[in-house]
Amino acid sequence: MQKMESRGVESPSLWEKALKLIGPEKGVVHLATAAVLNAVWDLWAKQEGKPVWKLLVDMDPRTLVSCIDFRYITDVLTEEDALEILQKGQVGKKEREKQMLAQGYPAYTTSCAWLGYSDDTLKQLCAQALKDGWTRFKVKVGADLQGDVRRCQIIRDMIGPEKTLMMDANQRWDVPEAVEWMSKLAKFKPLWIEEPTSPDDILGHAAISKALVPLGIGIATGEQCHNRVIFKQLLQAKALQFLQIDSCRLGSVNENLSVLLMAKKFEIPVCPHAGGVGLCELVQHLIIFDYISVSASLKNRMCEYVDHLHEHFKYPVMIQRASYMPPKDPGYSTEMKEESVKKHQYPDGEVWKKLLAAQEN
């Protein structure tokens, strides 16, 4: 810190000013914070000889509260509120932990209905998912209304009326367009529409929610939420019915703890975002902890599963009966295989050499 001798106070350095300009608590700075602090949690859990979810479950409530930054959210969640929630979560905790170890945490699949898949591919993947025991399916929508109607009809016909269907627009629409489009897809009985508009538009999500909830369609969002403040406002505005934390977008386990507790206070189910690039491996710890120590409920709760790239991790997720089985290896489950790191290292890894050679040609 540079001293301002004339005033006798500290002034921020140019570096600190630069960080504030590209933050605070958002963007590249926040992503880097998540990376560093997630690594710290990984080391802590390995030192204790526990997976991260078990490290959290075994923590005293006061220790957990000490890990949370309550700045900017005390109008919704105070330290006293958090402590009360966690203390109540002690009741029945051992039984819920046994349940998780035996049955796992419910998951849903995103892998069979990406945009761009042909109808035949969609049918083939959906049939295989049903054979594998999946009962919750998410379909991407938003590129073409008639195409969405056709694809959703195929999926609903295949999975039947009793299984759960969700939709994901990946921020495609303006607010009125989202309401109009989803009103025409409501006949397929989706549990939610995910990211119907800009993830920064809290009031837009609230308007869409107000219009679609009477149709039985909830709003899900969160994978692009910058920080706990955005989640706080989404909850305050009644702008979502399903909250989707992300293990790397927020500032690691610490900030996710605050969001899990706010969701509990508002009684909004948490259904994490997870992709097949290590996010599944990370977020499984958070959602298992949430059930055991915070929410104590599985109603309308499930965790996303995408089946890509798990082969690069030493401790990949274990899915049984369409559920995440709690990891037992110490740490945060995202240690990559040495050969995968070497192969993908820039610019000398095998993958990059091929790409760069192709560009030159």
**Catalytic annotation on 273?**
yes
The distance of Cα 350 from the centroid of its chain, to the nearest Å, equals 31
Dump the DSSP string for 191-246: SEEE--S-TT-HHHHHHHHHHHGGGT-EEEE-TT--SHHHHHHHHHTT--SEE---
Tokens representing 212 are 């679609």
Tokens representing 299 are 């109603």
Active-site option among 30, 138, 232, 273 = 273
E strands, the chain, in order: 2-4, 9-11, 105-109, 136-140, 164-168, 192-194, 218-221, 242-243, 303-305, 318-320, 323-325
The helix or strand, by DSSP H or E, that contains position 36, with its residue range, turns out to be helix 27-48
Q: Which of 281, 300, 276 is nearest to 110 (CA)?
A: 276
∠258-263-268 over CA atoms, to 5°?
Answer: 165
User: Which DSSP state fits 331?
Assistant: B
Active-site option among 50, 138, 140, 312 = 140
Say if residues 251 and 37 touch (Cβ distance below 8 Å).
yes
Coil, strand or helix: which one is 146? helix
Q: Which residues pair with 221 in a beta bridge?
A: 243
Write out the catalytic residue numbers: 140, 273
